[in-house]
Structure 1
Amino acid sequence: MDLKELSDSLSPPSLRWTIVVVLLLYSNTPAEGQFQVIGSGQPIVAAPGDDVILPCLVEPRHNVAGLTVEWSKPDTGNRPGPVEYVHVYRHAREDADTMSSTYIRRTELFMEGLQQGNASLKILNVTLADRGRYRCNLPKLGGQRHSSVVDLVVDPNAVKTSTTEPPLQPVSLQPPHLTEETDTEGGLSTRSRLILAVVPSVLLILGVGVVAYTRWKCRQQELIKLVI
């Protein structure tokens, strides 16, 4: 057996594959701060006088009760000028000073929903003037600006219906200041659930790697004895 064959035989392929699989697992794990803000792919249709809910969800689920949430109409009237803010939530409370007067006391967020990444907006008693595009913007989510757009169609020929309420009801927007990442489902954060899901697979792969390495080490010693 020459030195090249010896070198090849001393290279543990099972161990190399174990390392590759572990690296792939971690490369497919979402990095902290990689969020998406999801709206609606279809327009929200309502009749005048309806109460509507414009969806805005953070994925993966993340507590945004301590962040800023801005709902606006970015192209009102297709005219240049300041953005018309429909609802602004800042410093854990509604900021009515920056909102358009036509929406004050007509818009609500869902406090419990914010804790679970639900920044959806409820508009009461919609009118024809409310139709158009709405932007849900979270300027400080994960250290970056994230937003989504929802179209609201107010059709005078539509049949007036009662609002389909989400599981979480609107409550007073005066919560305590919350900034830590939490998740009310089972008391676990997104990161904790991810670790619990990945760790067993990693331990299994490492176990296989240890067995392969032990066998390779024994074979290495035998080959060295033969060469000597």
Structure 2
Amino acid sequence: MSLCRCFGFLLFVLHSLPGTTGHSVVVNISQPIVAIVGEDTILPCHLDPAVDPASTTLEWSRPDQGHRFVHVRHEGEDALTDQNPSYKGRTSVSNNTLKQGDVSLKLSRVELSDNGTYRCYIPKLNKESFISLAVGDMPPPAHKIVLVVAIPIMILSLIVVCLTCDKRADDAEGSGSRRCREYCSDCPECCLKTCNYCCEICMELPSIIT
């Protein structure tokens, strides 16, 4: 007698499981979906167990945008007559995955205005799931990041080089003037005005004279 009761209880438990009742449930996604402007993204929605897509209506919508739908699929075909214009040509549901219970929405060329909460709804089952989409701006290309970092370093390096050159030039001017006066006593004005050039000439004078 106890064996029969245990067997009956086991059948009751198995019959109560979602996958064995014949009624599908929508699997909720708790984590928000993150997307970048201009890229494609997938808003996940799954039925467990799967149902025949040809006899099911699927509605994707945004609760904050009134009665306009993001995407509707009815009896195996897209029904987009009441689609929100901002999503025109940017939404799709894969035919290959519908039979496996995957009713996820593909959103192409994501825009900043796509940021928000989406509703995946199966009217026949009265089941729904909400998915949050967080949209971010496009990150700058890698070469721009390199330039932003490299340019200030280059400018700073140039400033250091210029300051160093000025100091060396001042030292060379004083040293060159003395050398010019040693070898070119008759052209002191030249040494004072164009010291570097004059020094180059004056430094060659001894070898020329000798």
With 64-73 and 49-58 compared, the bigger mean Cα shift is at 64-73
Equivalent-residue separation in structure 2 for 1:17 and 1:159 (angstroms): 71
Looking at structure 2, the residues matched to 64 and 95 of structure 1 have their Cα atoms a distance apart, in angstroms, of 13
Q: Is the 8 A contact 2:26 2:129 kept in 1?
A: yes
Does the Cα contact within 8 Å between 1:69 and 1:88 map onto a contact in 2?
yes
For 1:46, the equivalent position in structure 2 comes to 35
Q: Which amino acid aligns with 2:29?
A: S
Match of 2:53 in 1: 64
In structure 1, the residue matched to 2:73 is 89
CA contact (8 A) 1:46 1:158 kept: no
Tell which structure's C-alpha radius of gyration is larger: 2
Work out the CA distance in 1 between the residues paired with 2:49 and 2:116.
28
Shift of 1:21: 1.6
Structure 1 counterpart SS, 2:128: strand
Q: Distance in 2 between matches of 1:148 and 1:100?
A: 20
Higher relative contact order (CA 8 A, sep 6+): 1
Corresponding position: 1:122 with 2:103:
no
Identity rate, percent: 34
**Moved segments of 4+, more than 2 Å:** 30-35, 60-66, 157-160
**Helix, strand or coil at the partner of 2:101:** coil
How much has 1:32 moved relative to structure 2?
2.4
Structure number with higher helix proportion = 2
Q: Contact 2:53–2:75 at 8 Å: present in 1 too?
A: no
Q: Which amino acid aligns with 2:32?
A: P
Q: TM-score, normalised by structure 1?
A: 0.56
Q: In 2 relative to 1, CA 55–39 (structure 1 residues): closer, same or farther, beyond 3 Å?
A: farther
Q: How many residues align?
A: 137
1:137 aligns with 2:126: no
Task: Sort the Cα spacing of 1:159 and 1:27 in 2 relative to 1 into closer, same or farther, 3 A.
Answer: farther
Q: Is the Cα–Cα contact under 8 Å of residues 65 and 111 in structure 1 kept in the other structure?
A: no
5+ long unaligned stretches in structure 2: 142-210
SS at match of 1:113: helix
Q: CA deviation at 1:158?
A: 5.3
Query: What residue is the counterpart of 1:112 in the other structure?
Result: 96
Q: Are 2:128 and 1:147 aligned?
A: yes
1:52 Cα deviation after fit:
0.3
Q: Deviations over 1:110-164 (max 9, x none)?
A: 11211111100000000000010000000113xxx0000000000116589xxxx
Q: Distance in 1 between matches of 2:83 and 2:10?
A: 46
Does the Cα contact within 8 Å between 1:87 and 1:107 map onto a contact in 2? yes
Give the CA RMSD over aligned residues.
Answer: 1.9
Q: Deviations over 1:9-60 (max 9, x none)?
A: xxxxxxx122112112211123523321014210000110010000000112
Consecutive unaligned residues of structure 1, counting only runs of 5 or more, are 1-15, 77-81, 161-228
Q: Which amino acid aligns with 2:72?
A: V
